[in-house]
Amino acid sequence: MCGHRNRLTYEKDNGDGVTTSELFRADGLAKSYPGVRANDNVSFSVAPGEIHALLGENGAGKSTLVKMIYGLVRPDQGRMMLGGQLHAPADPRAARASGVGMVFQHFSLFDALTVAENIALGMDSPPPRADLSRRITEVSAAYGLPLNPARRIASLSAGERQRVEIVRCLLSNPRLLIMDEPTSVLTPQEAEILFATLRQLAAQGTSILYISHKLDEIRTHCDCATILRQGRVVGTVSPAEHSARELAAMMVGAEMRLVDRSGRQAGEVVLTVAGLTSAAGLEGTALKNVGFQVRAGEILGIGGVAGNGQEELIAALSGETTGRPGTVVMDGRDLSSQGPEARRRAGLLAAPEDRLGHAAVPDMSLTENAILTGATRQGLQKNGILDHRAARSFAERIIAAFDVRTPGPGTAAGALSGGNLQKFVIGREILQEPRALVVNQPTWGVDAGAAAAIRQALLDLAGRGAAVVVISQDLDELLELSDRFAALNNGVLSPPVPTEGLTLEQVGLMLGGAHGMEVAHVAA
């Protein structure tokens, strides 16, 4: 069973003499969508003041499960109990009224509205403006999450946006707080602040249902973990008593392959970037004199919170924006003024992070999406006419090599789950055997098993002599993959340093110092 580090041991008498030490219980929950059994006979319980993790691969049914608890989706079968009473919310409003709060993975905030307006929208009977602003300031200060109620969301960093969501929940005094992958966008320092807040909440008796892919995080901070696989509960364990490997094995139902970084040797310089300066994109940051070199067989990791120039950097490297002569040079050839197609021909490929809308066209099939970047290098067109058979077989190769779970290459890209599409998008570039590859957030929103596969594929690519640049917010990933590490902050790239021997602490400092959460914002 589970450890009880943070748990308050209070028992509640629910009236008919039966005492219970559980706040929430799910019994045999089931939910099906056309063609998918998202949840099947799911049962688990959460004690008061417990931080309870929900673990599972993409598509294991975690999101559906919490949506049922939050009243966004109605279960087909089964029942839920909250505080000894039947919990069957008709909508999120009813769920909030009975004490359930939720912080969403993709923030459910309104960019053009202020912090106070966003929070008012999340409450059922908000107090008048001035009172609300005062309470926001009070509550946010009490939990160490400072916020200015009058600021517009669009001007906040990811960490600050998350604070808004959390404060929005806290103002309604929830008994059960659901957090869907809260740390995926945070720096280590920001994550520490979040955990301190969660522990404080748990100590006050609030139960927390915590969804994350980060096994180490769950092992350190959660009392209990319920593991889901293909919509079913495969076990409830105390995560501290298991290694990350064991947990991952339970999630995927098989031993996970460990990332192997052996067998690589840095060769000659392939990609040279020098004096790269660009205008800021929408809500982004301008690049200021960015320069680095990547050798054959080497992986350069670029860390930093998104919005500090990451999008501008990948756009400048992919050819989406062109630059002054001499800024992007590959194998002695100046590609600065060339567009994406010319750069692909020369062997410089890129996989941007926004898989829906930037890296893939949602309404087009996987075959058509494969053509979009692979046409030239894979010979998918002859005399201006597309060779659909070759394109389909290229798409099929990607699907097979990267274990993309889809009915076939004719499926629309938008119909794939985020992680599966990510595997496809990365695979599409890797299978073209680039001379140099630039990827942004290669494993964002991808489950542990698939993330390991993508990382291994990047390492193997480097092992075959390609130069690889990985831009990511996930520092563990960068430390695992890269030979050298550089931080991109406010459009300025730090000088790359060898990853060997670098600690998370030092990396955090490189990203902008001990003030962690304010970094991105002050910079912008």
Asked if 93 interacts with another protein (CB under 8 A), we say yes
CB of 366 to another protein, least distance (A): 22
If the CB atoms of residues 75 and 323 are measured against another protein, the closer one turns out to be 75
CB of 34 to another protein, least distance (A): 11
Which of 108, 137, 236, 411 is in the footprint of another protein by CB under 8 A?
Answer: 108
Q: Per CB under 8 A, which region of 105-113, 205-213, 309-317, 494-502 contacts another protein?
A: 105-113
255: left (phi over 0), alpha (psi -120 to 50) or beta: beta
Strand partners, 176: 100, 207
CB of 33 to another protein, least distance (A): 8
Distance CA(502)–CA(430), nearest Å, equals: 28
Q: Name the burial class of residue 115, with classes exposed (0-12), middle (13-18) and buried (19+) by CB atoms within 10 angstroms of its CB.
A: buried
CB of 309 to another protein, least distance (A): 19
Asked if 92 interacts with another protein (CB under 8 A), we say yes
Q: E strand or H helix at 298, and its extent?
A: none
Q: Per CB under 8 A, which region of 36-44, 112-120, 196-204, 286-294 contacts another protein?
A: 112-120
Asked if 518 interacts with another protein (CB under 8 A), we say no
Residue 271 Cα distances to 32, 274, 308, 522, angstroms: 49, 10, 22, 32
Q: Per CB under 8 A, which region of 8-16, 102-110, 239-247, 362-370 contacts another protein?
A: 102-110
Q: Are 66 and 102 in contact (CB under 8 A)?
A: yes
If the CB atoms of residues 64 and 206 are measured against another protein, the closer one turns out to be 64
**CA trace torsion 191, 193, 199, 201 (10° rounding):** -110
DSSP 151: S
- Closest to 171 (Cα-Cα) out of 192, 143, 199: 143
Cα angle, residue 323 at apex, residues 330 and 320 outer, rounded to 5°: 85
Q: Work out whether strand 100-103 and strand 176-180 pair parallel, antiparallel, or are unpaired.
A: parallel
Q: In the structure encoding, which two tokens stand for residue 145, read together?
A: 């999450």
CB of 124 to another protein, least distance (A): 9
Give rounded-to-5 percent helix, strand, coil for the chain.
Answer: 35, 25, 40
Q: Per CB under 8 A, which region of 108-116, 260-268, 316-324, 418-426 contacts another protein?
A: 108-116
Q: Are 157 and 107 in contact (CB under 8 A)?
A: no
Q: Per CB under 8 A, which region of 49-57, 117-125, 306-314, 335-343 contacts another protein?
A: 117-125
Residues 24 to 83 in contact with another protein, rule: CB under 8 A: 33, 71-74
Which of 14, 36, 85, 121 is in the footprint of another protein by CB under 8 A?
Answer: 121
Asked if 161 interacts with another protein (CB under 8 A), we say no
Asked if 120 interacts with another protein (CB under 8 A), we say yes
CB of 121 to another protein, least distance (A): 5
Which of 14, 36, 85, 111 is in the footprint of another protein by CB under 8 A?
Answer: 111
CB of 152 to another protein, least distance (A): 11
**CA trace torsion 461, 462, 467, 472 (10° rounding):** 90
Asked if 91 interacts with another protein (CB under 8 A), we say yes
Asked if 109 interacts with another protein (CB under 8 A), we say yes
Which of 110, 150, 204, 515 is in the footprint of another protein by CB under 8 A?
Answer: 110
Q: Are 52 and 226 in contact (CB under 8 A)?
A: yes
CB of 160 to another protein, least distance (A): 17
Q: Per CB under 8 A, which region of 47-55, 86-94, 202-210, 380-388 contacts another protein?
A: 86-94
CB of 381 to another protein, least distance (A): 31
- Closest to 95 (Cα-Cα) out of 80, 115, 117: 80
If the CB atoms of residues 75 and 319 are measured against another protein, the closer one turns out to be 75
- Closest to 372 (Cα-Cα) out of 407, 424, 449: 424
If the CB atoms of residues 126 and 463 are measured against another protein, the closer one turns out to be 126
Cα angle, residue 91 at apex, residues 85 and 92 outer, rounded to 5°: 85
- Please report the DSSP string for 263-322 in residue order: S----SEEEEEEEEEE---TT---EEEEEEEEETT-EEEEE--TTSSHHHHHHHHHTSS-
Which spans of this chain sit near another protein (rule: CB under 8 A)?
Answer: 33, 71-74, 91-93, 96, 104, 107-113, 117, 120-122, 126
